[in-house]
Amino acid sequence: MPTETKHQLTMNYFSILKTTFIILLLSCKAFVVAESVTYKVVKDDNLKYVIKPFGNKPAYSYAVFNNEFGNISGNRYNQIAKDKKAELYLNGWEGSTIKSISFSMCSNAKSGGASVKVMAGNTVLYQMGATAFNSPQWYGAWVSHINYLYVDIAKPMQIDHLVQADEEISIIITGTESSVYINSYTIEYEPGSTPTESALGYQYQRVPNKGTIADGDEILIYFAGLAAGDIDAAQTFPYMDVYPVHDMLDVYEPELMYFKLRKNGVYWNLINQYSDTLGATNVSKLAWNSGDVNWTIALTFDGAEISNATAKNGTLRFNAPAASYARFTTYTSTSLPLPYIYKRIKQNEPIKATSLTIPETLTLTLCKDTAIIRPAILPQSATDKRTSWKSSDEAVATVRDGIITPIGVGRATITATTTEGGLSAACDLTVRECFTALNQVKIAGVYSNKGKIMIEQSMPVDIAIYNVFGQLLTANNQVQHLEFAVQKGVYLIKIGKSIMKVAVE
């Protein structure tokens, strides 16, 4: 082979490789593994709403939850009543692509409905009008909150939305018929250039008078269950708002200011999670990136003396006026209490499930509508208790979220598997015929034809038609001829005291 031909083939080979690499690079988005984060709705001992997240979220993003119903007593803390809204707002998601949202929900025993809208700013990502919970658009069956069973309802976005800068994602569920109940939201997304991080909370520990602080420490400014938030710049004397902290060993509250300490010679700078530096322009006048941003910090028995380098600006103290809002700001008075510094120790790690059990055997009959299996997952404090279900033979029984529906006579294995960790447990299910006190006989003049049940009798009779779950479809008194259009399946026909099965193809 001539040298120039050999050289040309080599160049062509590398050209093909280069082109292939570029195509793969451009199409790599299709191979991005989606991330997910779950926000679970709970209530704490102070009777307020709390969302406990787990999974991975875009770094520095946060969520805010509000339920208009406002009743958080008993088992109604997550209730979405008729004409009331439950709202989840996601912030800091720019660059991520929202793919779908799954709701973990239930309804009242035989009622409940809601509408749902997912927005990215002014863009509608998903919308569904008022719909009963037993509609296929929601779940397709009633799931009573009395059973403490929540089911998963996935809503793929109408468009895969790339979240723009400063664009807020809002998820609004409005009760439209009786009540529904929201247990959690799971958002599946493709992350952008922003890295993802665990959504679990952090552990904070008070720095005592003999404790130490160092450059790079992340802290909260805290007093009596309240931690510093953003500066209310609309006030004549700007101050830091305060927000309740759910648990110092599980701090998630997004409203708080998480300060990073930076050493600046003999002084300290306090920089929040948005890269703003705390300063003071005068007494009782705090500001971001303005005034004197240098502080001295002395740890005492009574708290932390966080004093501005400009002495006339004062020292950070807590104040709760009877006729105004509680706050942190700078005072020259020494009668107000000092705050405490709580230092971030570590981020919490998921508590993994170590065991999963379900009943080993179960027997159902075709006349029984459904059975519910609740998996027992230990420890009870496991972070992620989501479970998937599978039936080995859907001609015998189907299973969905632990709800088993018998379909035909036979045996099947029902398997439950935890989403996190892959723990599995199996139940040996037997489905038997529907036994009844009625005489099961072949009844003359009862048959099926072209999707209809045909009844032709020589004299008027009382007729009732049931599905295989024992649910009454129609009842007619004193008729001789009846045509009843049905879907493909098996039905029970009752005439007088006799009953007969009819298969409709």
Phi-psi region at 29: left, alpha or beta (left = phi > 0; alpha = psi -120 to 50)? alpha
Cis ω for the linkage preceding 350 (within 30 of 0): no
Long-range contacts of 359-363 (CB under 8 A, 24+ apart): 359/427, 360/426, 360/427, 360/428, 361/427, 361/428, 361/429, 361/430, 362/404, 362/414, 362/427, 362/428, 362/429, 362/430, 363/429, 363/430, 363/431, 363/432
3-state secondary structure of 25: helix
Degrees (nearest 5) of the Cα angle 279, 284, 287? 25
Check residue 22 and give its pLDDT: 33
Check residue 457 and give its pLDDT: 86
Residue count of the chain, please give it.
Answer: 505
Rounded to an integer, the average pLDDT of 312-319 is 97
Phi-psi region at 334: left, alpha or beta (left = phi > 0; alpha = psi -120 to 50)? alpha
pTM above 0.85, yes or no: no
CB 361 within 8 A of CB 386: no
Check residue 468 and give its pLDDT: 72
CB 39 within 8 A of CB 103: no
Task: Among 117-131, 212-226, 356-370, 432-446, name the one with the lowest average pLDDT.
Answer: 432-446
> Is a pLDDT exceeding 90 seen at residue 254?
no
Check residue 324 and give its pLDDT: 86
Q: CATH number for 355-432: choose from 1.20.1250.20, 2.40.10.10, 3.10.450.30, 2.60.40.1080.
A: 2.60.40.1080
Note the CATH architecture for domain 202-347.
Trefoil (2.80)
Print the SS3 string covering 362-420: EEEECCCCCEECCCEEECCCCCCCCEEEEECCCCCEEEECCEEEECCCEEEEEEEEECC
The domain locations on the chain are: 31-198, 202-347, 355-432, 439-504
CATH code of 31-198, in short, is: 2.60.120.1200
CATH code of 439-504, in short, is: 2.60.40.10
> Is a pLDDT exceeding 70 seen at residue 7?
no
- pLDDT over 70 percentage in the chain: 90
Domains 202-347 and 439-504 share a fold: no
Nearest to 329 by CA among 320, 311, 317, 313: 317
Q: What is the pLDDT of residues 178-222, one digit of tens each?
A: 999 999 999 999 999 889 999 999 999 999 998 999 999 999 999
